[in-house]
Structure 1
């Protein structure tokens, strides 16, 4: 259990922050940026939770929020440290099962979907875009030579797919999807 008695420490006032090893990294370091993007993603999912209207989607999103805390702990802990919390690879398979479950109940797409819609769809689309940004930040971390656990970028990639189908479901449950109409804004 985590116990936080004091919220501010003043240790980050100089532009650096501590990681699990005790090392201090600049707040602009790719590892800290990736952790921050995942934190924002989790908050975006929390916003979506406040708007989603079905218990089924709410349960899925709450489970994903917990997975994102594991993922953040994984990012904060170098692979060289044994026994620390890691994102379990089985979480990817669980996400794929949730995607298939939702997608199988949806009609095929005949147009692109605009990132809006009723029933919590708009915040789910926003969370999807944040998931893509978090994934890019994790790849940037890996490309600069830092070790990243294999399931982390794959989970984020699958999560953006999940959030897309979840947004479609929320829209349909709330009254209907908002589809792209090519040239529709031109007034023709």
Structure 2
């Protein structure tokens, strides 16, 4: 496998880092090249991410992928996979991966303001029922068509700067339910007070 730093930073990027004074920050750093327990835990709550691919001549494309929390699953020490659901039928990602397997995953979890970047290679897997059974949540209402596996070269965590916290309906539901219960209790208490003492 290539040096993780060379996967992340091309010679032109390294030259810019040197020119702008940040090169020393990245030299001799212990880049992560395997899926850790921390990454697994992070992925267990992720319900959305972005997949970057490029054509053979470098034409880029970024596609949003969504599913139930934890739909991007670790299936080995350095492999992730997810079910590819029916979508807009452009098949740009599928076409790119036929001619260029380099890919990038960019994951933002707004509630915790975490940002994870993963570099690697992706491949389309069709007609593998056992894998699909591992990847598909039967309760999720979408039609899975195939799997996409991502073999990890290196990953990194970015700072939280400029990530505005946002929360899904499922994340705020417990707090809303608690408030609704408290409001009902107070309304009942107000009604009792208005009614006056029992005769």
Which of the five TM-score ranges fits, normalised by the shorter chain? under 0.3
Larger radius of gyration: 2
Q: Which has the higher contact order (CA 8 A, sep 6+)?
A: 1
Taking structure 1 as the reference length, the TM-score comes to 0.23
Taking structure 2 as the reference length, the TM-score comes to 0.23
Return the structure number with greater helix share: 1
